[in-house]
Chain A
Amino acid sequence: MCKELSHGICYIIPPHVHENIARNGNDKQKERAYQALNVSAHMRGQREILNTFAMLATTPTGVKRRTIYNAQNGLTLPGKLVRGEGDKKSSDTAVNEAYDGSGKTYDFYFKVFNRNSIDDRGLRLDSSVHYRRNFNNAFWNGQQMVYGDGDGQIFQRFTKSLDVIGHELTHGVTQYEAGLVYQDQPGALNEHFSDVFGSLVKQYAKNQKAKQADWLIGEGIFGPNIQGVALRSMKNPGTAYNDPVLGKDPQPAHMSKFVNTTADFGGVHINSGIPNKAFYELAIALGGSAWEKAGLIWYRTLVDKVQPNTQFAECAAMTSEVAGTLYGVGSAEQKAVKAAWAVVGITVGTTAVAAAAGGRR
């Protein structure tokens, strides 16, 4: 009946029928009904259907559900279903990388933070690979991950790097939790949290200590002739690449070098270098595995504190507050948090908090 969701015939069936199937059907029928409910709810903009869908879609804690689609170099999303949860390996490398990478990201969030997927309600992780032709990008579109193949010269396929997959999925987490606006400082913080947890997903999968990790984002996705190791370096922002064709990594590592621009949604991928560096400094100062303490402080800050319009200085104050709650006011951990922000020129203290609060929009 509803083999292809993009076929108009699916929308002829009233939503309540899909709801009944979603409640009472067998697994395959349920899955299709969820999809149809989801798609038709989006098409019609009916919020209550989406809410019902969210309730029905809650899956038991710790159970991953991954679905990989092949966009077949076209514009239509999600594309053709090619690998579902538990299905055997595909002959397509990008499909397997998206499957394995989203699984490792799920495992990281579940085992480290006891988080059940992007929405903490077991949301199915949908990924589409082979989007468009020579597409030099990967993005989270509010519902799923989308990966291009790259043009083969400047970029290779974007699924190649695990931290890219962790980065994209974290945009989903941020959307459900803090809802950071994708513009200017809040946008740069949105990017920052994606880089932090993208890197931590990789470090966790490799079981690396903070000092062993490369702290690179997008390592290995450049084409063979590009002079650069990755797209961004959290350890040394501004040093990831320097290529005659592409130019130089534009990230600052200090507030004094903050870049004011209208491009890139107000420099969200540029100024994220500043908080990225602060996080790296904290992880090194605390030692051990970065996800244990620094990662936990950042996770709780994202989930409990950060607001849609949070600015850098406010975020810094929030991390200090969270460190105080987790490890004690005046603890070594809280002092390390303040020291890490000081490295990038952000002072955490009563003055900074007051100034930040006054600047709240």
Chain B
Amino acid sequence: MRISFERTGGFANIPLRAEIDSAQLPHERAQELEKLIERARPFDQQTQSQGAPPVADDFQYDVTINDAGQTETIGTTDAAASDDLKLLFDFLGEEALQKLKQR
């Protein structure tokens, strides 16, 4: 499974982008990722963008998940995301940050 992760905005507005390949992750992390993704499905029912005005200094996410030829995309603000989706974003953000630090 390949995941393209992008986070922009936030008070600091320092964009965070990374390509994450679950095959490259340690076994336990890969399993955790699978679990987080399953919990956050179906993605289109995990956001509530209607009605609520944007939250100042909020993060924006653009995530593409490519699994066995199937592509799914998630585009949302942090505030509009469900808790399960937030936990997935935090996991991916952590991985993206690790990659950034290794560069």
Contacts and interface: CB of A to CB of B under 8 A. Distances in A.
A60 to B, nearest CB: 28
A136 B54 contact: no
B80 to A, nearest CB: 12
Contact of B100 (A191, A231, A245): A245
B60 A263 contact: yes
Interface in A251-268: 263-265, 268
A183 B90 CA distance: 24
A123 to B, nearest CB: 16
A135 B12 CA distance: 12
A164 B11 contact: yes
B50 to A, nearest CB: 13
Contacts of A140: 55-57
A320 B79 CA distance: 36
A231 B12 contact: yes
Nearest to B55: A141
Interface string B70-98: 00000000110001001100100110010
A29 interface: no
Contacts of A158: 11
The residue in B11, B52, B54, B79 that gathers the most chain A C-beta atoms within 10 A of its C-beta is B11
A134 B58 CA distance: 16
B56 A194 contact: yes
Given A134-B94, A151-B97, A264-B13, A75 B57 contact: no
Interface in A220-278: 231, 245-247, 250, 263-265, 268-270
A155 B94 CA distance: 13
Interface string B37-58: 0000000000000001111111
B27 interface: no
Given A75-B86, A133-B90, A154-B97, A231 B11 contact: yes
Nearest to A75: B83
Contacts of B56: 139-140, 168, 171, 174-175, 182, 190-191, 194
B12 A168 contact: no
Interface in A121-159: 132-142, 151, 153-155, 158
Contacts of A182: 53-56
B82 to A, nearest CB: 10
B13 A269 contact: yes
B11 A142 contact: no
Nearest to B103: A245
Interface in A2-39: none
Nearest to B94: A134
Contacts of A270: 13
Contacts of B14: 154, 246-247
Contact of A168 (B57, B87, B93): B57
Nearest to B62: A263
Given A132-B90, A137-B10, A153 B101 contact: yes
A295 interface: no
A133 B60 CA distance: 18
B10 to A, nearest CB: 4
The residue in B9, B15, B60 that gathers the most chain A C-beta atoms within 10 A of its C-beta is B9
A142 B53 CA distance: 9
A142 B9 contact: no
Given A245-B103, A247-B14, A264-B9, A142 B59 contact: no
B12 A218 contact: yes
A246 B16 CA distance: 9
A263 B62 CA distance: 10
20 contacts: A132-B90, A134-B90, A137-B57, A137-B78, A140-B56, A140-B57, A142-B53, A142-B55, A168-B56, A168-B57, A171-B57, A231-B13, A245-B100, A245-B103, A263-B9, A263-B15, A264-B60, A269-B11, A269-B12, A270-B13
Interface of B: 8-15, 52-60, 78-79, 83, 86-87, 90, 93-94, 97, 100-101, 103
Interface of A: 75, 132-142, 151, 153-155, 158, 164, 167-168, 171, 174-175, 182-183, 190-191, 194, 218, 231, 245-247, 250, 263-265, 268-270
